[in-house]
Amino acid sequence: MNQPKVADYRKIGTTAYTGGVSGKPGDVPMQIRDIMRKLQATLEEAGAGLDTVVKATVYLAYMPDCEQYLNPIWNEIFGANPPARTVIQAGLENGIFVKIEFVAEARA
């Protein structure tokens, strides 16, 4: 199978754009937490962090997972200053329930 070469992130000026990240197999909360760990590492490599995320796009296989799982974990991670967020129901790979991508500002 011919897999495309894809960067974990691209940085233009001080803005970092991550690719869509999915979590290791498991239930929805496990996938969300794994994705957040992966994205945090990617953002740090780009000179940013979870505290500098300005926009998130979340793809869910099943929309009710937003209220039940995503929102509580999101609030725990981002607290009172969350990024703007779009949530989209999408057909994802087998066993993948969540995919997330971020736009963040790099630290000076």
pLDDT score for 2? 76
Which of 32, 46, 41, 26 has its CA nearest to residue 98? 32
Distance CA 22, CA 43 (A): 15
Mean pLDDT, the chain cut into blocks of 10 residues (108 residues total): 84 97 95 98 97 98 97 97 97 96 93
**pLDDT per residue over 53-68, tens digit each?**
999 999 999 999 999 9
pLDDT score for 1? 67
Residue ranges and CATH numbers for the domains of the chain are 11-105 (3.30.1330.40)
pLDDT score for 29? 98
Which of 104, 96, 105 has its CA nearest to residue 21? 96
pTM: 0.93
Which of 96, 94, 86 has its CA nearest to residue 32? 96
